[in-house]
Structure 1
């Protein structure tokens, strides 16, 4: 684990209580998970912190999908990067997918992570962080039907931490 990854995990553990306290009293309620889920997500932050620099993700086996994924009226998921070896993992520190958006400088910015599990005939969607995966659906770069769970840990999502689409993420 790199020093940068450990630093990101410590910073997140310290920042979350202050971020939760800063929510205005008149803010519209957003469906969220238990606030302590951030503690459960710390391994995901730590494991993916180095991937804020997109070339590191590719070096570590995440293959980029060619197209940006968005839904009219719902928002975007961005560009999917999938590591085939992690498809099926329910380990918080091993998401199979990374979600990026164009950063305006010709690069890509990490906005979220995604756990991907194959959907077989008669299989029920798994759960992680107290949330049931969505699907069956398809994911760019993955063959066949899958169940997915997205976590917008690198960019705020007004629709919620585990919402499938982020209205703040746009495809160019």
Structure 2
């Protein structure tokens, strides 16, 4: 079954790119958000491809859980701004290092299909404990408030699996919302 899923993921991934529906298509609609610092288009696009390539295996939540990602939030939404989704983090990755192929968190949206609910991968999130905000692909991480209780200082979302009209590296996605019973 795992081999079948891998083949299907590879075929879907290839088809998406062949159809021109690349994760970086959002660069044509604004690139990074104003909240994410500056962006060098070429290096940002390369990073987006790397993130998409390295997270393709996590389109199914069960694979992320098997690889050590644990649910750390319910679906997060800010009315009038947008949503982030449900976060699954791999705590041993949260440190000063930043690697586009190893996101510290994966973001999923709950999707109802009849009586069933599944989780669709929409973004990767990078978290850093570095003193200075890191830069990934020319995009500067967002910094947390000084009084934040988060185990990290800086974060950067990469909406590589769901178009974000606010930009690939925007913190919130205004085109999505959490199911009413999951919103926090």
CA 156–9 in structure 1, closer or farther in 2 if over 3 Å, else same: same
Q: How does 1:2-151 map to 2 (within 5 A)?
A: 14=18, 15=20, 30-32=30-32, 33-36=39-42, 37-88=44-95, 89-105=97-113, 106-118=117-129, 123-137=131-145, 143-151=150-158
- What SS is found at the alignment partner of 1:164? coil
* Deviations 1:73-129, CA, capped at 9 Å, x for gaps: 21111000001122134111000010011111311110000100025xxx2211111
Quote the Cα distance in structure 2 between the aligned partners of 1:86 and 1:7. 29
Instruction: Name the Cα RMSD after superposition.
Output: 2.7
- What SS is found at the alignment partner of 2:112? coil
- TM-score under structure 2 normalisation? 0.73
Quote the Cα distance in structure 1 between the aligned partners of 2:12 and 2:125. 19
Quote the Cα distance in structure 1 between the aligned partners of 2:74 and 2:175. 18
Quote the Cα distance in structure 1 between the aligned partners of 2:21 and 2:14. 10
Quote the Cα distance in structure 1 between the aligned partners of 2:17 and 2:178. 31
Offset at 1:30?
2.5
CA 115–9 in structure 1, closer or farther in 2 if over 3 Å, else same: same
Structure 2: gaps (5+ residues): 1-5, 33-38, 180-184
Tell me, yes or no, if the aligned pair for 1:62 and 1:97 is still in contact at 8 Å: yes
Higher strand fraction (1 or 2): 1
Is 2:157 aligned against 1:171? Answer: no
User: Whose RCO is larger (CA < 8 A, sep 6+)?
Assistant: 2
Tell me, yes or no, if the aligned pair for 1:98 and 1:112 is still in contact at 8 Å: yes
CA 5–46 in structure 1, closer or farther in 2 if over 3 Å, else same: farther
How many residues end up aligned between the 2 structures?
157
Higher helix fraction (1 or 2): 2
Deviates more, 1:48-57 or 1:36-45: 36-45
